[in-house]
Amino acid sequence: MRTRQISVSKAIVEALTEEMQRDESIFIIGEDLVSHGGIFNQFKGLPALFKDRIIDTPISETSIVGCGVGAALTGMRPIVDMHFADFVTTAMDEIVNQMAKIRYMFGGQAKVPMVLWAPDGGGISAAAQHSQSLGTWFVHTPGPKVAVPSARAAVKGLLKAAIRDDDPVMFFQHKKLFGKRGAVPEEEYVIPLGKAAVKRKGKDITIITYSRMTSVCLEAGRRLADIGIEAEVIDLRTLKPLDFPAIAESVQKTCCAMVVHEACLTGGFGGEIAACIGEELFDYLAAPVMRIGAKDVPMPFSPVMENFVLPQVEDVCACAEKIMKRKRK
């Protein structure tokens, strides 16, 4: 595929433009979309192209999400912008009790084809209420699919898959990815939900990660190679559906694994993956599965503390070395 260098925001605008031209039932609803083009410029230019289909709302997250549910139930394909993922807390009933359950609870009579777009993550000194990684909450709620793209191309391809999906998809895109530039294919492409990507090949240890931590783990992989450890880095791309076969294939080869995520460690998705590996791949393991996540505190404001709380490349390297030392021959 031929590629060109564009920003993630531009890749998003391309994905939305292509999808909205293809399907008239798609509309985008949220705060500050029309005049501002979205707080991360991810909707820039769209209001001029799709006048009535980019809808600015009052600050009413509960009703914005509910609006997505009601519109999806009656023939539309809404994309609901949450501004910041942290604000899902103001619409938890609409997400957890309504969006997630309506299809099942009504015996499969209806479908809820909506995308709930929730820019998440820390690292921008946005403090405790604008920095969380909450995707795992919704993995624990049967109903929504949960996408956690890691980079430019994945954002565009996964977003298109999310829009085309007939079930609700929560799209947790890391805020720090918006401004990043990189290679995006020129022609149209869609990345299916539930398909992980091996971002780096390696025979010694499997590092399972997602979202922004993918680039952190890739950097760790380069540094580990310098000291003779070949790490395989898997970007999950979606937490639900989970591509466990991709994890299994790698762990059967490396015989050890660690999970890295930006969300808090305790109760995080790392525990779930570690348990799955323990249940399914115990006989292959030559070392315990380790986890790395943010420290269990609300995100502090001052960068020196924030960096301390968030997993860093050094943390990933140290953990990998520790596992390698314990690894039975």
Partner 1 sequence: MHSSADSNAPIISISASRKKAILKKMIQIRQFEERAGELFHQKLIPGFIHLSIGQEASTVGSCASLRPDDYIISTHRGHAHILAKGADPKYMFAELLGKKTGYCKGKGGSMHIADFSLGILGANGVVGGGFPIMVGAGMSIKLRKTDQVGMVFFGDGASNRGTFHEAANMAAVFKLPIIFVCENNNYASTSHAKVMVAGGSIAARAKAYDMPGYTVDGSNVLDVLEVVQRAVDLARSGGGPSIVETATYRYRGHFEGDRQEYRTIQEINAHRMHRDPIARFEKLLVAYNTINLDYIVKIWHETAEDIEKAIHFGMESPLPAPEDALKGLFVNS
Q: What tokens appear for 89 in the block?
A: 């807390």
Catalytic: 83?
no
Q: How far is CA 184 from the centre of its chain?
A: 18
41 binds partner 1 (CB under 8 A): no
DSSP bridge pairs for 232: 206
**41 vs 141, beta carbon nearer partner 1:** 141
Candidates 15, 82, 88, 102: give the one binding partner 1 (CB under 8 A): 102
Only segment of 90-98, 172-180, 285-293, 317-325 that touches partner 1 (CB under 8 A): 90-98
Q: What minimum distance in Å lies between the beta carbon of 29 and partner 1?
A: 7
Which residues from 183-212 bind partner 1, rule CB under 8 A? Answer: none
117 contributes a contact to partner 1 by CB under 8 A = no
**Least distance (Å) between residue 94 CB and partner 1:** 6
CA atoms within 13 A on the CB side of 289: 26
Among 34, 44, 70, 176, binds partner 1 (CB under 8 A): 70
130, 140, 174, 261: which is the annotated catalytic residue? 130
Question: Is the four-CA dihedral 270, 272, 273, 277 of positive or negative sign?
Answer: positive
The Cα–Cα gap between 14 and 10 comes to 6
Angle CA(106)–CA(66)–CA(20) in degrees, nearest 5?
Answer: 100
Q: By rule CB under 8 A, what string of x and - marks binding of each residue 9-28 to partner 1?
A: ------------------x-
Q: Which stretch binds partner 1 (CB under 8 A): 108-116, 127-135, 244-252, 293-301?
A: 108-116
- Which residues are registered as beta bridge partners of 7? 181
Q: Which stretch binds partner 1 (CB under 8 A): 93-101, 222-230, 293-301, 320-328?
A: 93-101
User: Which residues inside 123-142 make contact with partner 1, applying CB under 8 A?
Assistant: 142
- Please identify, using beta-carbon distances, which residue of 114 and 151 lies nearer to partner 1: 114
Q: Which is nearer to partner 1, 29 or 294 (CB)?
A: 29
Q: Which two tokens stand for residue 327?
A: 């690894």
* Residue 98 binds partner 1 (CB under 8 A): yes
Scan residues 216-235 and list those touching partner 1 (CB under 8 A): none
> Which residue from 103, 130, 152, 175 is in contact with partner 1, where contact means CB under 8 A?
103
Q: Examine residue 241 and say whether the peptide bond preceding it is cis (omega within 30 degrees of 0).
A: yes
The closest of 239, 116, 211 to 155, measured between CA atoms, is 211
Q: For partner 1, give the closer residue by CB, 147 or 218.
A: 147
Counting contacts by CB under 8 A, is residue 109 touching partner 1? yes
Using CB under 8 A as the criterion, which residues of the chain lie in contact with partner 1 when the complex forms?
27, 29, 52-53, 55, 57-58, 60, 62-63, 65-76, 78, 93-94, 97-98, 102-111, 142-143, 166-167
